[in-house]
């Protein structure tokens, strides 16, 4: 669970968080999630493994506003040899569900080719764990 | 068709456009698309009509890089009294398909309640037109 | 002192934090600084007081990179009836000085006219405090 | 002279362009300025030359708003063997001066060391030209 305060730079002139900026919150949350499980993205990169986003879905249910303090919850829905599907749920300080995101990441090597992430990473990140 | 050159601020340290920034390109393209049909978002706002994104899907198929010149094509898939579904297709200067986005917008009033966009707007934006 | 981890969205294809993004870090740091002293910007807004940036200077001394953990230090250099000058200093996890910023904020009312921030706010934020 | 339309993603909940986003406009304007003179940054990079910002000053004089169409004027104030100082002036569609920026760029090599940009580049970019 990542907690985050909303600043001016997160918002737009509609008075709420810009719809593209939620993807930054998802990136932060899944990075911390992997790091907490011992798989820092910066460490995986040193092993020649990169995760790139191949698909993103977002449902915007309730606006997040300036000075709101949101919770960004992360969960892994599915892991295969080369793919991870994350789900993020954002709620505001009143517990109201604001945004849901589903992000598919593919593991690639330095040449940009899909590459198995390794049995250890796969096991550590699998939902059953 | 909107043409756009990619600058440093569009990219990230992976060397390609940041996955959240495509949503900015979609916003720009659909704004221009509506404006060309006589429905400037800034004019609709003066009539008390606001369009908010309720759903976004993105497929990332090929990376866009610094100094690339992309085409962002816009098409409307569906229009109802209160909803528009846009589809954007991004190709690079070599004609390669890079990104596809599908954005659902809901028309709301100043109080944030779903509101019919009006028969004229609906007709003008309908795919058959 | 605000601590912050650097994510992909903070960086550009030069491999380092985008030069415009430091202004977001400055915003976050001075907002928290004022909040800790009992002057939340969201509360001041309810009293009809808004702070807008009239001048910014930045010196970029050493690049901040992906996964760096930076400290953003905030200090107020000067306060007058309508103006505050902040100074931010960013150091990385090795204590290396990376960036220095100086931001001048002017207090305005809802009509956009310069307005005294009030004796209490001025006193609470003065460097002598 | 670069012309630019302001979109939601450029603005914040204060109803105007976010103060950090002007640095993106400066980047775009100076990139196009150099390109028009035959010095595309992407071409210089292939020769192992990179320009990094070492100093930025911005004066915010009048707010830029959603749907404004701004002109970003670029001029070079000074060129030395390793340094270029750019000045950008932003005016809105009514000719009103909104923002002034001054950006110092240093030419570095792939190892990050200051490096002469070459007599041809220096001459081509010098204000006298």
pLDDT (tens digit, 9 = 90+) per residue, D41-98? 888 888 899 999 999 999 999 999 999 999 999 999 999 999 999 999 999 999 999 9
| Strand arrangement, sheet containing D83-91 | C2-5, C69-79, C83-91, C97-108, C50-60, D50-60, D97-108, D83-91, D69-79, D2-5
**Smallest CA–CA separation between A70 and chain D, in Å?**
17
**Smallest CA–CA separation between C40 and chain B, in Å?**
26
pLDDT (tens digit, 9 = 90+) per residue, B57-74? 999 999 999 999 999 999
**Smallest CA–CA separation between C80 and chain B, in Å?**
35
Nearest-by-CA chain C residue for B14: C13
How many whole angstroms separate alpha carbon D11 and alpha carbon D18? 5
How many whole angstroms separate alpha carbon A62 and alpha carbon A98? 4
pLDDT at C39: 87
- Which chain C positions have a beta carbon within 8 Å of A9's beta carbon? 23-24, 27-28
**Smallest CA–CA separation between B125 and chain A, in Å?**
22
CB contact under 8 A, A13 and D9: no
CB contact under 8 A, D54 and C59: yes
- Which chain C positions have a beta carbon within 8 Å of B8's beta carbon? 12-14, 18
pLDDT (tens digit, 9 = 90+) per residue, B89-98? 999 999 999 9
- Taking one residue from A and the other from B, the number of pairs with CB-CB distance under 8 angstroms is 56
**CA B59 → CA B105, B118, C64, distances in Å?**
18, 32, 30
pLDDT (tens digit, 9 = 90+) per residue, C18-65? 999 999 999 999 999 999 998 888 888 888 999 999 999 999 999 999
Q: Which chains touch C (3 or more CB pairs under 8 A)?
A: A, B, D
How many whole angstroms separate alpha carbon D37 and alpha carbon D31? 10
CATH class for the domain made up of C2-125 = alpha beta
User: What part of D 58-87 touches B (C-beta under 8 Å)?
Assistant: 66-67
**Smallest CA–CA separation between D41 and chain C, in Å?**
12
Tell me which DSSP letter residue A41 carries: H
- Which chain B positions have a beta carbon within 8 Å of D5's beta carbon? 28
**Smallest CA–CA separation between B23 and chain D, in Å?**
9
Nearest-by-CA chain D residue for B68: D42
| D53 → closest Cβ in C23, C55, C60 | C60
**Smallest CA–CA separation between D30 and chain A, in Å?**
24
CB contact under 8 A, A67 and C28: no
Nearest-by-CA chain B residue for A25: B20
In this predicted structure, the answer to whether residue A9 has a pLDDT above a threshold of 90 is: yes
Chain position carrying tokens 């990230």:
B12
Whether the CB of A20 is below 8 Å from some CB of chain B: the reply is yes
- Reduced to 3 states, what is the DSSP secondary structure of residue B46? helix
**Taking a C-beta distance cutoff of 8 angstroms, is the pair B124, B40 a contact?**
no
pLDDT at A23: 98
Q: Where are the domains of chain C?
A: 2-125
Mutation for A interface: D12, D22, D66, most A CBs within 10 A: D12
**Taking a C-beta distance cutoff of 8 angstroms, is the pair D29, D23 a contact?**
no
In this predicted structure, the answer to whether residue A129 has a pLDDT above a threshold of 60 is: no
pLDDT band at D112 (very low <50, low <70, confident <90, very high): confident
pLDDT (tens digit, 9 = 90+) per residue, D55-71? 999 999 999 999 999 99
Question: In A44-82, which ranges are E strands?
Answer: 50-60, 69-79
Query: DSSP letter string over D13-64?
Result: TTSBB-TTTHHHHHHHHHHHHHHHTT--HHHHHHTT-EEEEEEEEEEE-S--
Fold of the domain built from segment(s) A2-121: Thiol Ester Dehydrase; Chain A (3.10.129)
Mutation for A interface: C8, C23, C93, most A CBs within 10 A: C8
Q: What pTM does this model have?
A: 0.96
**Taking a C-beta distance cutoff of 8 angstroms, is the pair A75, A25 a contact?**
no
pLDDT (tens digit, 9 = 90+) per residue, B16-34? 999 999 999 999 999 999 9
- Which chain C positions have a beta carbon within 8 Å of B65's beta carbon? 13
CB contact under 8 A, D9 and B24: yes
- Taking one residue from C and the other from D, the number of pairs with CB-CB distance under 8 angstroms is 56
| B42 → closest Cβ in D24, D27, D67 | D67
């Amino acid at each position: 669970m990542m907690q985050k305060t909303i600043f001016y730079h997160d918002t737009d002139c509609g008075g709420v968080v810009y719809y593209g900026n939620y993807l930054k919150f998802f990136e932060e949350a899944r990075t911390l999630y992997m790091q907490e499980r011992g798989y820092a993205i910066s460490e995986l990169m040193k092993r020649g493994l990169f995760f790139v986003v191949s698909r993103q879905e977002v449902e915007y249910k309730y606006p997040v506003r300036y000075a709101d303090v949101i919770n960004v919850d992360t969960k892994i829905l599915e892991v295969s040899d080369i793919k991870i599907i994350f789900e993020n749920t954002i709620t505001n300080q009143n517990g109201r569900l604001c945004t849901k995101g589903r992000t598919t990441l593919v593991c690639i090597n330095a040449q940009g080719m899909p590459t198995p992430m390794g049995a250890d990473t796969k096991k550590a990140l699998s939902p059953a764990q």
